[in-house]
A and B are shown apart, each in its own frame.
Chain A
């Protein structure tokens, strides 16, 4: 049996590079890590739990109508949230959207993790990726472009090195599913999962030795 990719003792931030809220979280945790000595792993999450309402078979017109109207309200709210997240990154008013096809960019992030490069280089990769992704205006960033970003942040990427992570990615997907990490951004610390950026102050408090009053 192969060794688990995620150890119980790891502190992990799971991100989905198709979602702007992951980049907001990356920005926030980078600020936090300045004062922390604890190692952080950045790992890609490929499968969001999504809208579980789709699994309900509506019984009768009333429920179908409610479900439909609720879905519309939820969708409008999520759109508002995305705009706020762009504002948090100083990108208010932009009409750019990040691409939804991110599987190769995720492989690139996993490759950096497995190569055990410094955290600062992973942040540089994510910064550069976001910049390119915004320029592409919703179109997928090509594999060659991702490779170029990796080279740009100092990695010796040749041939199909990144693509060779596909098997590892499959294992990672399985472990993420087993651990119940349902969506990104999400954290894993001391065997516990925390879904959503809002947990960051609590994690900071925990990693800082639980000094002072716990965030509630």
Chain B
């Protein structure tokens, strides 16, 4: 098995932007379109990388039924506070973009969709295909219309995005899983712990509120570092 150490390096050339996402994160979902906007605005190719969160390890776990009733959980009151605020906040961002964001009913294993992202990055014939894969997975998952734990479902999305899924099944069971898992180790060691995370010019930024700072880097860092804010140039 080839070592995955070549996969990432946080120290990149100037202007190279890495974006770390996890399909099960509402904050990554609402950052997706502004990130693709960066590609268009600056003529760059973002290096998209999966950061598969172990949410249970820091926010506890919970399941809710179709009515929203909690059926099981091991969360503390302040973890519930954090989760509820995060969903409310992310939903505000989603609303402002005209997106539907339905809260999840359990903590999903998003690693198959993440490995699909690695596959899509290697096999997409153009940026549009990669964009379609990320958009379709995010949009449908947050509409509760996509089972991201089902390999066949992810393969079908790849095909729908115009990316051949021939060989994906073997990749998922072998090198794809290995690369994904190695990547998670490297990402944590590199200091990335949540999504979306942006790495550019040797700096690491966590949270979509840093998009104006990412733009500042892409524009050559004129003047003082800007404040955190919304990304107001989405078109």
A residues neighboring B (CB under 8 Å)? 24, 28, 49-50, 52-53, 55-58, 63, 66-67, 69-70, 73-74, 76-77, 80, 84, 87-88, 90, 180, 182, 193-202, 213-216
Question: Contact partner of A53 among B58, B188, B234, CB < 8 A?
Answer: B58
CB nearest neighbor in A for B61: A56
Establish whether residues B227 and A216, one from each chain, have CB atoms under 8 Å apart when the complex forms: no
CB nearest neighbor in B for A70: B193
Establish whether residues A73 and B188, one from each chain, have CB atoms under 8 Å apart when the complex forms: yes
CB nearest neighbor in A for B76: A55
Establish whether residues B204 and A77, one from each chain, have CB atoms under 8 Å apart when the complex forms: yes
Establish whether residues A216 and B96, one from each chain, have CB atoms under 8 Å apart when the complex forms: yes
Establish whether residues A55 and B225, one from each chain, have CB atoms under 8 Å apart when the complex forms: no
* CA distance in complex: A77, B78 (Å): 22
- Cβ contacts under 8 Å, B89 to chain A: 194-195
* B106 proximal to A (CB < 8 A): no
* CA distance in complex: A86, B44 (Å): 30
* B189 proximal to A (CB < 8 A): yes
Q: Which of B79-87, B110-118, B131-139, B156-164 contacts A (4 or more CB under 8 A)?
A: B79-87
Produce 1/0 per residue, B206-235, CB < 8 A to A. 110100000000000000110111111010
* CA distance in complex: A180, B230 (Å): 22
* CA distance in complex: A73, B194 (Å): 9
* CA distance in complex: A160, B84 (Å): 40
* CA distance in complex: A53, B56 (Å): 9
Question: Contact partner of B93 among A67, A69, A213, A216, CB < 8 A?
Answer: A216
- Cβ contacts under 8 Å, A198 to chain B: 207, 209, 228-230
Establish whether residues A70 and B188, one from each chain, have CB atoms under 8 Å apart when the complex forms: yes
B residues neighboring A (CB under 8 Å)? 34, 54, 56-60, 74-76, 78-79, 81-82, 84-85, 89, 93, 96-97, 188-194, 203-204, 206-207, 209, 224-225, 227-232, 234
Establish whether residues A180 and B206, one from each chain, have CB atoms under 8 Å apart when the complex forms: no
* CA distance in complex: A123, B118 (Å): 50
**Subset of 10 A-B contacts with CB under 8 Å:** A53-B58, A57-B74, A74-B194, A80-B203, A213-B232, A214-B96, A215-B96, A215-B232, A216-B96, A216-B97
Question: Contact partner of B234 among A52, A56, A216, CB < 8 A?
Answer: A216
Question: Contact partner of A55 among B34, B79, B189, B209, CB < 8 A?
Answer: B79
- Cβ contacts under 8 Å, B231 to chain A: 216
* CA distance in complex: A136, B56 (Å): 41
Establish whether residues B56 and A76, one from each chain, have CB atoms under 8 Å apart when the complex forms: no
Establish whether residues A55 and B191, one from each chain, have CB atoms under 8 Å apart when the complex forms: no
Q: How far is the CB of A142 from chain B (nearest CB, A)?
A: 32
CB nearest neighbor in A for B185: A69
Establish whether residues B204 and A80, one from each chain, have CB atoms under 8 Å apart when the complex forms: yes
* CA distance in complex: A196, B234 (Å): 21
* CA distance in complex: A210, B188 (Å): 41
CB nearest neighbor in B for A89: B224
Q: How far is the CB of A196 from chain B (nearest CB, A)?
A: 6
